[in-house]
Structure 1
Amino acid sequence: MVIVGGGSCGSVLAARLSEDPACSVLLIEAGAGGAVRGPSPAHILPIGPGSPRTRHYATTLRRGVAGALVRGCGLGGSGAVNGAYFVRATPADLDAWGSAVGGRSGRTGWSYGDTLPYFRRSEDDYDFGSSALHGDAGPVPVSRRTAESWSTVTARFVAAAGAMGFHAEPDKNAGGPAGVGPVPCNIDRGMRVDPGSAYLGAAARRPNLTVWAGTTVRALRTAAGTVHAVEVVRDGALLEVQAHNVVLAAGAIETPALLWRSGIGDPRMLGAAAVHALPGVGREFSDHPEITIPYNPAPPAGEQVSEECAAPPILEACLNLDSGDGAVEIRPYTASFGDAVPGNPPMPSVLGAALMSPWGRGRMVPHPADPWGAPRIEHHYLSDPRDKAAAAAAVDLARGLLDAAGLGAVIDGVPPRLGTSQHLSGTCPMGADPGTAVVDPRCRVHGLGGLYIADTSVFPRVPSRGPHATAVMLAERAAEFVASGLR
């Protein structure tokens, strides 16, 4: 068994599949460093210029607006460098997913009821413990900052949202109505515990699990409709590793790029290099556009803040809204991204307004001249008139909350800025039709034996909450599908 990618999903897969001592697992990760790094300070985002733990990709957010995508590199992947939000997709998201892939229930269903056991299995919820909705024995610690320990920014924001009539949402992983409340985080005592350290920490010592870090997978080798090997570069040498089964967990950018390099994708794009037609690779994707509103922080008003707030995570609480105009998330960041990201220049404080169920879809295509070059990525943000209207309404709401909370004044002459939430999803979507989908409901690549995909690239669309907990759930479930295929 070969797993390509040691990020959030690859770590889960390697740990779960190697629980069977009869299953030999090779985990291949392009990032350097073969050891699990362990927990890291949650208030620091090590994603700045020159960070050895990230890869940066250029994108066009909308016509004339350039942007950058950041992906974690190394064991733990993006889960080791992100904001540590561990929020589940909503029941409505998951029921729509189940319907989209051909069924709301059953062993291959993806409805809320189908997936809840895997969310519970992944977590150790410090606040709600074991219940019908939560687990207390999983590898990932989940906690929420209490109101007594909130930073001034968070406390003022939550109070203002309540005064404006938005109801409280004390548990954003309970599947209840959207509102304002604490963000569930994979944090333990101020430290980010990513899936790499949570799942691989103990599993790495198993004799049937081998980890190759600093190793690049060049291509998949196929014959007679089956993947039988991966071609890799390791320590400067080109090797071919035989494999009865391969699971791609390289992420929503590198997974489709590897498929294209292997001749798998739309023949109209790949031309003579095509060996297996799957037009859905990179055909469209979704992500959460975010408009940030810069402001000058108001001076403290004598609030008593606990010492625990000296270094809060960058997001302690947020406001979620689900309406006919689409889901919106307002994010009161506790620090500027100049302070939270080492290597960044000074930046103003910002309040974020994100569209969590955008209508617009992006497109990714291979590099036109170099199969090893970064794919060409276009987000097409706000290309749909409904998204433009929703964005304008979200910015108005955010400005109103900024004023009501007394957080500070909008900086004159500095307009809101369009960015991305870094939640790219759906570049190899799940579905029943191989004309548009890339994997079936059991994460098997259509028409190719021995090949699975299990990362956010298979989401039919980005969830209306941050995708990290849902990605871990996907990997938990995919590990069962792969294991059953080995029997």
Structure 2
Amino acid sequence: MVPRAADVVIVGGGSCGSVLAARLSEDPACSVLLIESGAGDPVPASPTPAHILPIGPGSPRVRLYSTTLRRGLAGTLVRGRGPGGSGAVNGAYFVRATPADLESWGSTIGGGPGRTGWSYGDALPYFRRSENDRDFGSSSAHGAAGPVPVSRRPAGEWSTTTARFVAAAEAMGFPGEPDKNAGGPPGIGPVPCNIDRGMRVDPGSAYLAAAAERPNLTVWTGATVAGLQSTAGAVRAVQVIRDGESLLVEAGTAVVAAGAIETPALLWRSGIGDPRILGAATVHPLPGVGREFSDHPEITVPYDPVPRRPAADPLVAERVPPPILEACLNLNSGDGAVEIRPYTASFGDAVPGNPRMPPVLGAALMAPRGRGRMVPHPTDPLGAPRIEHHYLSDPRDKAAAVAAVDLARGLLDASGIGAPIDGMTPHLGTSQHLSGTCPMGSDVGTSVVDQCCRVHGIAGLYIVDTSVFPRVPSRGPHATAVMLAERAAEFIASGFP
């Protein structure tokens, strides 16, 4: 039976949408419809190997978007499709935002500590709720009963690249950071990953699969949401194209969780955005949609690896392959927050279908000052938005990038894992951490949602994904996105008796 109405309609079955669908359907009195544009089985597939990134040419699990990283430099954004979204295809890096990140959100959003505040203390119960930390167990800092397994690869099993990099960083005097999810000072240490026995466990597998058989939860895949219909300042229905048919689904509450690119695109198709861009198509003016966003620029330093001798112990060869990132160095300095990433494999090896590539060290700016901009496709409402990152547009970001590359080169030299390749210069790319296209805040002129993820001025409409982050966290955003969805599910559920 095709539902023509639901208490909650969720647009997007990625990481946040999977969490929301599972949590909201825990109430048997609440009917939930989850709509995902990616094709495939509505029940998420089994977890996938974490050392493989299934994002190569022709992959049905991703959608590619063009961007201009900076003037004259094109780039490609990769976003996951299907249940689990980008969380099902990424590097399984599951590191929380820092206390300073969340305090900065609070200064933007306002409201202070409490039920709707965004301090680290406000967020911590939801970080804990999401995780099953295999290393630290249940404590005031960690959870052990959540759906997402979180672990750090033991130092005794690190790849040669990781072991030598960590040793070099320690020898250079950088402090240790044994638990990057503890909210302590930054340093060198293992990366928490959502991995179980070498397999990536994304929110689709962790949350949605367990909830899929509930009679009050329906999941549609291969369906496109053409627009949101609203009257008298409230969302009433969602227009869906499925199997070539246009359907109007009445929604008690609509939650957009389509990601930092497709969420603003859907708002624009629905007449929600800046009147200077939408013109006569404007239904509800919100100038903050797509106005600015942040992402982590990454400069990769290619190197020629030192040849490795075969392992003498045959058991070593049988160990689970390492994730793409086992440990990293985080630091804050006068040049800004930086993350140096010793990848365990080249992207040619990790991405099926990619050509051979040299291994690289990544040097990422984790608190960039520059802001990007996104506008609708000029002719096709369902087409990809036009995206400009404006990387290194702020002189302070340029200086930080130079310092980060110098540090990466120094660590490369000190570690002995390889030498920079003559003739190959560092390459500016993106960490694929796009955030803030529909930011949370109290100023209706610049923000899109309030502190509870409710769209300003439209009753019954929420946005829950990285588009609402006021700025990208200084660590990768995945764990923070899951926390956001855990917390937003409570905000949304509170609207039901």
Conservation of the 8 A alpha-carbon contact between 2:440 and 2:450: yes
SS at match of 2:360: strand
Distance in structure 1 (CA, Å) of the matches to 2:346 and 2:246:
44
Identify which of 135, 138, 143 aligns with 1:127: 135
1:214-233 to structure 2, matched below 5 A, reads 214-233=222-241
RMSD: 1.0
Conservation of the 8 A alpha-carbon contact between 2:43 and 2:208: no
SS at match of 2:34: strand
- Give 1:310 shift: 5.5
SS at match of 2:495: helix
Distance in structure 1 (CA, Å) of the matches to 2:302 and 2:49:
25
Identify which of 17, 23, 28 aligns with 2:24: 17
Identify which of 182, 186, 189 aligns with 1:178: 186
Conservation of the 8 A alpha-carbon contact between 1:141 and 1:186: yes
Output one character per residue of 1:25-75: Cα deviation in whole Å (capped at 9) or x when no partner.
000000011221121100000011100000000000000000000000000
Q: What does residue 4 of structure 1 align with?
A: 11
Q: What does residue 109 of structure 1 align with?
A: 117
- Give 1:307 shift: 3.5
Letter in 1 for 2:137: G
Q: What does residue 335 of structure 1 align with?
A: 345
Distance in structure 1 (CA, Å) of the matches to 2:402 and 2:495:
48
Identify which of 399, 410, 416 aligns with 2:409: 399
Mapped pair 1:384 → 2:391: no
Distance in structure 2 (CA, Å) of the matches to 1:124 and 1:310:
20
Output one character per residue of 1:355-386: Cα deviation in whole Å (capped at 9) or x when no partner.
00000000000012222211000000000000
Distance in structure 2 (CA, Å) of the matches to 1:307 and 1:174:
32
Q: What does residue 43 of structure 1 align with?
A: 51
Mapped pair 1:358 → 2:402: no
Q: What does residue 421 of structure 1 align with?
A: 431
Distance in structure 1 (CA, Å) of the matches to 2:321 and 2:77:
26
Conservation of the 8 A alpha-carbon contact between 1:214 and 1:234: yes
Distance in structure 1 (CA, Å) of the matches to 2:297 and 2:242:
37
Question: Gaps (5+ residues) in structure 1?
Answer: none
SS at match of 2:252: coil
Conservation of the 8 A alpha-carbon contact between 2:69 and 2:75: yes
Distance in structure 2 (CA, Å) of the matches to 1:457 and 1:40:
26
Distance in structure 2 (CA, Å) of the matches to 1:125 and 1:165:
29
Distance in structure 2 (CA, Å) of the matches to 1:133 and 1:336:
34
1:266-277 to structure 2, matched below 5 A, reads 266-277=274-285
Q: What does residue 371 of structure 1 align with?
A: 381
Conservation of the 8 A alpha-carbon contact between 1:42 and 1:190: yes
Mapped pair 1:146 → 2:154: yes
Letter in 2 for 1:240: L
Output one character per residue of 1:403-449: Cα deviation in whole Å (capped at 9) or x when no partner.
10001111101110000000000000000111111000000000001
Q: What does residue 3 of structure 2 align with?
A: none
- Give 1:308 shift: 5.7
Distance in structure 1 (CA, Å) of the matches to 2:414 and 2:474:
26
Distance in structure 1 (CA, Å) of the matches to 2:477 and 2:433:
7
SS at match of 1:386: helix
SS at match of 2:494: helix
Conservation of the 8 A alpha-carbon contact between 1:152 and 1:303: no
Letter in 2 for 1:39: P
Distance in structure 2 (CA, Å) of the matches to 1:457 and 1:140:
22
Letter in 1 for 2:25: S
Q: What does residue 99 of structure 1 align with?
A: 107
TM-score by length of 1: 0.99
Output one character per residue of 1:247-291: Cα deviation in whole Å (capped at 9) or x when no partner.
000000000000000000000100111000000000000000000
- Give 1:202 shift: 1.3
Letter in 2 for 1:478: A
88-97 or 100-109, which moves further after superposition?
100-109
Identify which of 54, 59, 62 aligns with 2:67: 59
Q: What does residue 447 of structure 1 align with?
A: 457
Question: Gaps (5+ residues) in structure 2?
Answer: 1-7
SS at match of 2:161: helix
Distance in structure 2 (CA, Å) of the matches to 1:309 and 1:220:
49
Q: What does residue 86 of structure 2 align with?
A: 78
- Give 1:323 shift: 2.0
SS at match of 1:56: strand
Conservation of the 8 A alpha-carbon contact between 2:288 and 2:438: yes
- Give 1:311 shift: 1.6
TM-score by length of 2: 0.97
- Give 1:209 shift: 0.3
In structure 2, do the counterparts of structure 1 residues 27 and 206 end up closer, same or farther at CA, with 3 Å as the change threshold? same
- Give 1:222 shift: 0.8
Distance in structure 2 (CA, Å) of the matches to 1:117 and 1:368:
43
Q: What does residue 5 of structure 2 align with?
A: none
Distance in structure 1 (CA, Å) of the matches to 2:496 and 2:147:
24
Distance in structure 1 (CA, Å) of the matches to 2:478 and 2:260:
13
287-296 or 94-103, which moves further after superposition?
94-103
Conservation of the 8 A alpha-carbon contact between 2:269 and 2:381: yes
